[in-house]
Amino acid sequence: MDRLQQLMVFRRVVETGNITRAARDLNLSQPSVSRLVAELEQRLGVPLLLRSPRGLTVTDAGAAFHAEAVRIIDALDEAEASVRGAQSGLSGTVRITCISAFFDAAVMGWLSDFLLANPNLVVEAHLSPNVIDLVEQGIDLAIRFGELRHQSLIARKIGRLDFAFYASPGYLAKAGVPETPEALAGHSFCSLLIGGRPWEEVQLEGPGGESVTVNTPSRFRADNLISLIKATLDGFGISLLTPWAAIPHVDSGAIVPVLPGWRSEPHDVHVAWPSTRAMPRRVRAVLDVLVKKAAEDPRMRAR
């Protein structure tokens, strides 16, 4: 039991990045958590964590061991769930990473009914604009956009998204209304951060199939849709938004389309997961819901 407890404690310390928080989450004292981690390091004969006044840093050995700890604990949870049987419902934790803009606008809605029907299931959303290592961070599913370059991941395409330009009437009254893509030069822009970087080089497709690349240097950047829309409403500049996220604000007259008929090149949307990890039943169930709901959502079918 001590060895399993050491694994569980070490996993939580790594995932919280803080011994105090891990102790609180596990309902243990801080000295107990520190002792269990120290005993684990002594038993393995290698340092797993580096401690400094600035906090904890996971060593290379610690990162590798954390991935194995996640696999072992998840396998045990899955074995117990299988014995209890499907009639008892799903339980445990499923960790998902996604940019907050897309999670708030789409994924949360897709999962709502499913979560209500499975009260013992926990979904932990890591809404980071950065591309993170799924194995190292113990993530089960990642929603990724565009081309996937990680060979260690298995991915399933769930749809396509395109984007269009929008701005407030107040901004356009001051800065002028661009009638062509070339006329965007000199305008101010608000950009979505994707992978920690602003999306400022945009491939546009016109109503007649023509294609042009435009640069949109941004004066405001955000990794979430709410802030980006707020900046657009406040007149900071022209924003590239998914049409379905912009529609309520267009209907109210708060923002208007810019260059109607022109949209970004569609971006494929994938759900990805580590190829090195067996998929527990609860993760498979969440994956199936995401695939099904995305297929039913007309917003996921870019032209």
CATH number at residue 226: 3.40.190.290
> 51, 67, 85: which is the final residue of a domain?
85
Residue 106 domain-assigned (yes or no): no
Q: If we measure between CA atoms, which residue out of 106, 169, 123 comes closest to residue 283?
A: 123
Residue 132 domain-assigned (yes or no): no
Instruction: Measure Cα distances from 166 to 33, 100, 109, 183, 233 in Å.
Output: 51, 20, 24, 14, 10
* Whether residues 173 and 80 fall in one domain: no
Residue 274 domain-assigned (yes or no): no
Pair type for strands 164-167 and 263-264: unpaired
- Three-state SS for 151? coil
> 85, 116, 134: which is the final residue of a domain?
85
Per-residue pLDDT of the chain (303 residues; tens, 9 = 90+): 588 899 999 998 988 888 888 898 889 999 999 999 999 999 999 999 998 887 888 899 998 898 888 888 877 877 776 676 555 578 888 999 998 778 888 999 999 999 999 999 999 999 876 777 787 778 899 998 877 766 678 899 999 888 899 999 999 999 999 999 999 998 999 998 776 778 888 889 998 888 999 999 999 998 777 888 999 999 999 999 887 788 889 999 999 999 998 998 788 899 999 876 678 888 999 999 999 999 999 888 754
> 39, 61, 85: which is the final residue of a domain?
85
Residue 291 domain-assigned (yes or no): no
Residue 16 domain-assigned (yes or no): yes
φ, ψ of residue 190 to 5 degrees: the values are -115, 130
Q: If we measure between CA atoms, which residue out of 281, 261, 135, 271 comes closest to residue 204?
A: 261
Tally of structural domains, the chain: 2
- pLDDT of 151 reads 64
d(CA 143, CA 184): 31
Are the CB atoms for 279 and 288 separated by under 8 Å? no
Residues 6+ apart with CB under 8 A from 142: 96, 97, 98, 132, 134, 153, 271, 272, 273
CATH number at residue 56: 1.10.10.10
Residue 171 domain-assigned (yes or no): yes
- The answer to whether the pTM exceeds 0.75 is no
Size (the chain), residues: 303
Residue 219 domain-assigned (yes or no): yes
Residue 20 domain-assigned (yes or no): yes
What range defines the domain where residue 208 resides? 163-265
- pLDDT of 276 reads 66
